[in-house]
Amino acid sequence: MSFLDNLYEGIIVSDLLELEPDNEERLEEIYSRLIMDLPEECKFIFENYGAVTLEVATPDGDGIVVSLFGTDNSFLCDLVDMQENYSIEKTGNVIIIGDDMGDSLFLYGEANEGLGLYLADAGAFHKDDYIKLADSISDFFCKGIGIEKL
């Protein structure tokens, strides 16, 4: 059973991108480049999907679409770009785990408010500008903690 089986009532899975045939090599490359341990939720997605798209109902009634990265090319490109172009002092020890298919990024890791899931504007990629959504990925996606901050 995965965290996708226990999503918060206002969150639904709208698309599951299948794994590419060379997933094992991609997993090895991703894991070798990481400078932090991934949470189990990310490992589950990486090992089972190319990407997961969720529809998240927000308190204002609008809702957003969240794409959680799997072993697709965009995650690895984002990871490499982040590690090569930004310092941990500036960004925190975080990784990009998804986006809203727009201008916002979902980050996981250690930033100004401790370990957790953060929302960042892609144009202002600095830990002082992040909004902490929840202490964990499961808190946000399974318990609904922090959805009101969207």
Domain spans, the chain? 3-149
**Predicted confidence (pLDDT) at residue 81 exceeds the cutoff of 80:** no
Residue 100 burial (10 A CB sphere; 0-12, 13-18, 19+)? middle
pLDDT of residue 82: 73
Distance CA 143, CA 62 (A): 19
The DSSP 8-state label assigned to residue 150 in this structure reads -
> At 76, is the pLDDT very low, low, confident or very high (cuts 50, 70, 90)?
low
CATH architecture of 3-149: 3-Layer(aba) Sandwich (3.40)
pLDDT of residue 85: 77
> At 108, is the pLDDT very low, low, confident or very high (cuts 50, 70, 90)?
very high
**What mean pLDDT do residues 97-120 have?**
93
Structure-model confidence comparison of residues 131 and 96, the more confident one? 131
**Predicted confidence (pLDDT) at residue 66 exceeds the cutoff of 90:** yes
**Predicted confidence (pLDDT) at residue 140 exceeds the cutoff of 90:** yes
| Percent of the chain's residues with pLDDT above 70 | 94
pLDDT of residue 73: 62
Average pLDDT, the chain: 87
Closest CA to 145 of 61, 94, 137: 137
Distance CA 46, CA 143 (A): 22
**What mean pLDDT do residues 1-29 have?**
87
pLDDT of residue 112: 92
Whether the CB-CB separation of 55 and 74 falls below 8 Å is answered with: no
pLDDT of residue 113: 96
